Amino acid sequence: MGFKFVVLWTDVVMWLMVLGVLLYARVVRRDQALRATWRRVFTRPAAMASAVVLLSMLVITLADSIHFRRALPLVEGSVRAYDARTESVLDLALAKLIQSRENSYSRPWATHGFLKESVPLPAGVKPELDEFGVPKLPPRAFPRLKHGGAGLTDPDGQWAGDIALRLSLGTASALMVAGLLRWPLLRLQRRQSRAAAQAGDALAWGAAWWALSALLLVAGWCVALSWGQGYHVLGTDRTGNDVLYQALKSVRTAFVIGGLASLATLPLALLLGIAAGYFKGWVDDVIQYIYTVLSSVPNILLIAACVLMVQVFLDKNPELFETGLERADLKIFLLCLILGLTGWAGLCRLLRAETLKLRELEFVQAAVAFGASPWRIMRHHILPNVMHLVLITTVLEFSSLILYEAVLSYVGVGVDPAMNSFGGLINQARMEMARDPIVWWSFAAAFVFMVTIVLAANLFADAVRDAFDPRARVVRPVRRLLAPAR
Amino acid sequence: MLSYVLRRLAYGFVILIGVNLITFVLFFTVNTPDDMARLNLGGKRVTQDQIDKWKAERGYDKPMLYNAEAQGSARLTETVFWERSVSLFVFDFGRADNAAGGDIGHEIRQRMGVSLSLTVPIFILGLLASVILSLWLVMFRGLPVDFWGVVVCVVMMSISALFYIIVGQFLFAKQAMLAPVSGYASGLDAARFLVLPIGLMVVASLAGQARFYRTLFLEEVSKDYVRTARAKGLGETVVLGRHVLRNAALPIITSAGSALPGLFMGGLLTESFFGIPGLGAYTIDAIGSQDFAIVRAMVFLGSVLYILTNILIDVVYTWADPRVRMQ
């Protein structure tokens, strides 16, 4: 059975970003000062745990960033054709969740549907007549799910036992893996010298283990519950699709938006911010004018306007994509570019102010005296000295962009409706919350996943800011001095 | 003072020219009116006649920048740029692109008050609540209350505003029936409909602001004048409430300006969730029906409001800090 790889725009960028991070890690390894600063980030237990959570989400994202299309069975005398559906490696791993599609809503861990359906009478049986001689309506009951708990012969009696068995199996296997991992992580912890531990400079491997164990436990439960003839861990949506699958697919969308869009702000912000600060004069005036204009337009309106234009563009050029997924991907790619083009003003302002300060310092003056070209000075002397600002802003942006995506999708200018995203899940949940009895699980799934990712990103960003921002370090010890005095 | 405000207004006008150019480029050169017509009429099988009719009805059939066929000044005024972009400066928004073709200016006048009665309380109450919360946290700095307060703030910051709105609407309106689920009434009766959205948006923006203000206050608390105040024997409440608050007010006022975009977004969300007929709901409807004229008008109006509010904040800033001279 053949297949062909489909290279999507965002796939390329995601992998390039991973490559970039790896290259940066190499630079950090070699640079002692940088290494010490990053060390400070990972001495914080919260940051270490967040990093573990983010990394595991990144693994999901990357598994979802290798796309291919299966070859259709060859028909005699025809060219090889490929399935219109584009799948990813993650889809392969979650094939079971995709296949176990129900008819409609079902609660998490349910064996029966959520909505009553008419039960068709067995063939040959005539419907009973009521006193007027009119056939009675078929009885209505909660239908048995096709896949949820399909192995149970007596769902009411066996359900609790089956769930308990699966949960304990999941817990046991998760604990086993966590126990196996405890050794190497503890070794790492111990290998750090006692001096480092006393100076508060020890990497928080313990926190990493706890975070990993918690993730393993949750993953263990999910796997055990859905294994074989299992259940829908987070229920199914209106069309019977597994909500857990949708939530897992949404992780990639969130990462693409968060990563790509914050990356897209960098070129303009760096170039214009440093140029404005270095050259001053009319260059500064022009650049200031441009970013004041941009930031004067309420961001969401500007994005809405841009996205409407992109929609027109996509409608006009249908030859740019082969499948629906490629269209959705191009749209999210352009959305990220839009977010980048509309969101660089803040960082630009920061960089301009910092460059204004730096250009008066001796090392820059010395470079000028040596006759270095402005481009060289900006690139070699100023850029490395503002990188901490860039890093802090990018990491901070990441979480706010994930939150922003949900709002944009709600307003109708976000990602393609065909693409799984947290915004889409929330949007759909909004209608479901109005039902009675309410359908709460898509909403809960979006909530749990989003809060986990954004919280982890926020905590990590805080640690990065505290480690890299020289001002934050000045404030901290003062706080520590004040505390015992009270 | 007056000359400062006038100068700021003049610069604001220059900024608006830029905004206007951006919107013009965005709406008329990235895609031609033909494309807009096709999207608006829908479907692939739109004939050129239909497109021409659509454009003629809305005045998009004129030349873009320069009308060679017209006479005199009409060469410049009988153009899409003049009629659709320059006229925005006198708040002549024209008609909507949709089939009804309602007068946008009329709609905006109708809805402006509604939106302001929602966003102004959100802004003021949100500022008050977060200042009070952060002062309270600073009062307990270094203690477990402060630590857990910050933890709660970080968790609350990580929750999308959408969740606050959906859950709040469900709990308070549907379950407890403390407020109507959605809708609006004119006059004083409107308060009944506005309480819940305002409260929810204040809560949604509370954590992030409070945490930020807390760091501002902490920076002030470590300064010499605070020690002097304590040495004089002033109580903690007076020190924080009078001395620290006044000095930290300046960065807070500055940062209030950066909260404005969020306010726009909050208005957009709450209005559409709670069925409040303000500008936000109007904009969302326009985006949904791909009505370019309305979106264009809202971009311009939003920028005007943004620039004016920023000038206002600067004036307040100079009023709050006598050291700042207006230049």
B155 and B278 part of one domain: yes
pLDDT of residue B326: 54
pLDDT in tens, A216-250: 999 999 998 888 788 888 988 888 888 999 999 99
Among A44, A312, A436, A451, pick the best mutation site for testing chain B contact (most B Cβ within 10 A): A312
Residue B100 in domain: no
Residue B96 in domain: no
Residues of B in contact with A462 (CB under 8 A): 154
Residues of B in contact with A482 (CB under 8 A): 141-142, 221-222
Does pTM top 0.95 for this prediction?
no
**Domain end marker among B57, B90, B123:** B90
CB contact under 8 A, B306 and A296: yes
CB contact under 8 A, A301 and B35: no
B167 and B299 part of one domain: yes
Residue B193 in domain: yes
Structural domain boundaries enclosing B128: 105-320
The mean pLDDT value for B4-16 works out to: 89
The mean pLDDT value for B5-12 works out to: 89
B223 and B83 part of one domain: no
Residue that wins the pLDDT comparison between A460 and A190: A460
Q: How confident is the model at residue B325 (pLDDT cuts 50, 70, 90)?
A: low
User: Touching check for A311 and chain B: CB below 8 Å?
Assistant: yes
pLDDT in tens, B237-252: 888 888 888 888 888 8
Q: How confident is the model at residue A401 (pLDDT cuts 50, 70, 90)?
A: very high
pLDDT of residue A274: 94
B250 and B153 part of one domain: yes
Using CB atoms and an 8 Å cut-off, which of residues 349-408 of chain A contact chain B?
A: 399, 403, 406-407
pLDDT of residue A485: 35
pLDDT in tens, B28-83: 777 777 777 777 776 667 777 877 877 777 777 777 777 777 777 777 777 777 77
The mean pLDDT value for B153-175 works out to: 90
**Taking 90 as the threshold, does the pLDDT of residue B235 lie above it?**
no
Q: What percent of chain A has pLDDT over 70?
A: 94
CA–CA min distance A117, chain B (Å) = 27
pLDDT of residue A169: 92
CB contact under 8 A, A312 and B170: no
**Number of domains comprising chain B:** 2
The segment with the largest mean pLDDT, out of A44-58, A63-77, A425-439, B271-285, is A44-58
Q: How confident is the model at residue A270 (pLDDT cuts 50, 70, 90)?
A: very high
B111 and B242 part of one domain: yes
pLDDT of residue B64: 72
The mean pLDDT value for A330-349 works out to: 91
Residue of A nearest to B298 (CA): A301
pLDDT of residue B248: 87
**Domain end marker among B62, B90, B118:** B90
B173 and B30 part of one domain: no
pLDDT in tens, A125-150: 777 777 787 877 777 888 888 888 77
pLDDT of residue B133: 94
pLDDT of residue A481: 37
B181 and B291 part of one domain: yes
**Domain end marker among B30, B60, B90:** B90
**Taking 90 as the threshold, does the pLDDT of residue A449 lie above it?**
yes
User: Touching check for A292 and chain B: CB below 8 Å?
Assistant: yes
Residue of B nearest to A318 (CA): B44
Residues of B in contact with A433 (CB under 8 A): 166, 170
B66 and B126 part of one domain: no
Residue that wins the pLDDT comparison between A412 and A364: A364
The CATH number assigned to the domain holding B204 equals: 1.10.3720.10
CB contact under 8 A, A289 and B18: yes
User: Touching check for A293 and chain B: CB below 8 Å?
Assistant: yes
pLDDT of residue A102: 84
The mean pLDDT value for B135-140 works out to: 91
User: For chain B, what is the radius of gyration of the CA atoms?
Assistant: 25
B76 and B125 part of one domain: no
B243 and B209 part of one domain: yes
- Closest Cβ–Cβ partner in B161, B163, B290 for A308: B290
B47 and B23 part of one domain: yes
**Of A354-363, A431-440, B169-178, B210-219, minimum mean pLDDT range:** A431-440
**Of A99-103, A472-476, B59-63, B305-309, minimum mean pLDDT range:** A472-476
Q: How confident is the model at residue B101 (pLDDT cuts 50, 70, 90)?
A: low
B138 and B238 part of one domain: yes
**Taking 50 as the threshold, does the pLDDT of residue A368 lie above it?**
yes
Residue that wins the pLDDT comparison between B258 and B301: B301
Residue B99 in domain: no
**Of A183-197, A367-381, A405-419, B241-255, minimum mean pLDDT range:** A183-197
Q: Show the tokens assigned to A162.
A: 């089956």
CB contact under 8 A, A426 and B166: yes
pLDDT of residue B247: 85
CA–CA min distance B170, chain A (Å) = 8
pLDDT of residue B25: 83
